[in-house]
Structure formats: C-alpha cells, structure tokens
C-alpha cells in the first residue's frame, strides 16, 4: 500500500502542475480572444489561424484541467442519496463509480482517440479553413486530457482504499475551502442582508444566463 500511496502522490503532483499551467493558459485565451475581437471590430481584419488558436486553447483548458478538477473535488457530484450514508459507505460508492463508470468511459475515449490523433499527425492534417492551423495538436489534447483524468481516477481509487483501511484521510473532503457554488450562495446571502433588491436582481440575472 505504501508504494500505491507514493504513486498516488506522484499522479497528484503531475495533475497539480498541469492545473497550474492551465491557469496561465486561461490568461492567454483571454488575451487572444480580446485581441481577435478588437482587431476585427477596429480594423475589420480577421485571421482564421488566430480564431482557431482561440478554439484550441479553449479546448485545452477543459481537457487538460479535467484531472486537476477531479483531484480538487470540484467536479459535479450528485450525492442527494449518498450523503445520507456513513462515510465508509460513501467511499465504497466512490470506488464503485470510479471502477464501473469513470474508468470504462475514459479508457474508451482515450483508446478511440489515439488513431484519430495518429492519422492526423501522419498526414499532417491542416484545417479546412483558409490560413488555418494544423489539426493534430488539437486532436492530441483528447488522449492527453483523458489520460490525465484516468490517472486522477487511479489516484482517487488508491486513496479511497487507503481511507477504508485507515492509512490516509478521506479523499472526498475538500481541502481548498468553499466551492464556487458555496461562495456564490454566501455572496447572495450577504447582499440580501445589505440590499434585498440587489440580491433579487443577482438571482434573476443568474437564472437568465
């Protein structure tokens, strides 16, 4: 078990490093998107290469950060029934979900995406748009992203088993404070105490998105 926990820590370190890099990638996407919009509106000039770069980076954020999101327990978790059970039962449900739902889906997508990327790489596939980018880097993101998610799932599985035998803490407990949803709920409550009208307006705008 000691070896498996060491492996889990190495996987977590990898996903944390990738997640930290993606944070900066988000800034790059914002700058590229803003530049595309300004150039198009002010100079009436558009570049397919820059537009596709924007799409590629946007896809990279979601695919590469999937494992990091899972590690930080920030993924959507529907636990209306599970939360009524004991912690050990909840962890057993986690193990079942990882083995019979997460792994099969991710491994299937990972496996099917490899020839999809390889063919594009061998043919040096180019975008069908004039002046567009090569396609294989974008297609490479699919197996890489799901590979990181599979590793994150393996790490989570190891920690779940470790919790059941008493050698590591509960991996489902968030260690990074409140979730974005909880922070939003707190903000709405704070606004309601200060200005009920403003709070109602914020709730209405959130529903309209």
Query: pTM for this structure?
Result: 0.81
b/e 95-124 (16+ beta carbons within 10 angstroms → b): bebbeeebbeebeeebeebeeebeebeeee
For the chain, count helices (H), then strands (E): 8, 0
Give the residue extent of every domain in the chain.
Answer: 2-177, 179-209
Quick one: how far is CA 153 from the chain centroid?
Answer: 13
Look at the block and give the residue holding tokens 């490899």: 114
Give the pLDDT score at 176. Answer: 54
pLDDT band at residue 178 under the 50/70/90 scheme: low
pLDDT tens digit sequence for 69-122: 999 888 777 677 777 888 898 899 899 999 999 999 999 999 999 999 999 999
């Amino acid at each position: 078990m000691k070896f498996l926990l060491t492996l889990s820590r190495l996987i977590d370190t990898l996903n944390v490093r990738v997640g930290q890099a993606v944070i900066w990638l988000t800034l790059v996407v914002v700058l590229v998107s803003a530049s595309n919009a300004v150039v198009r509106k002010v100079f009436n000039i558009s570049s397919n290469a820059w537009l596709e770069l924007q799409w590629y980076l946007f896809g990279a954020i979601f695919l590469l950060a999937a494992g990091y999101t899972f590690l930080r327990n920030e993924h959507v978790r529907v636990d209306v029934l599970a939360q009524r059970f004991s912690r050990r039962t909840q962890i057993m449900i986690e193990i079942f979900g990882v083995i019979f739902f997460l792994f099969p889906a991710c491994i299937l997508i990972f496996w099917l995406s490899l020839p999809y990327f390889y063919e594009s790489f061998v043919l040096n596939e180019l975008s069908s748009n004039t002046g567009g980018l090569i396609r294989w880097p974008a297609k490479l993101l699919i197996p890489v992203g799901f590979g990181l998610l599979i590793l994150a799932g393996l790490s989570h599985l190891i920690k779940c088993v470790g919790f059941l035998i008493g050698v590591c803490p509960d991996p489902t407990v968030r260690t990074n404070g409140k979730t974005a949803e909880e922070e939003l709920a707190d903000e709405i409550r704070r606004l309601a105490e200060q200005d009920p009208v403003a709070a109602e307006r914020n709730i209405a705008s959130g529903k309209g998105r």
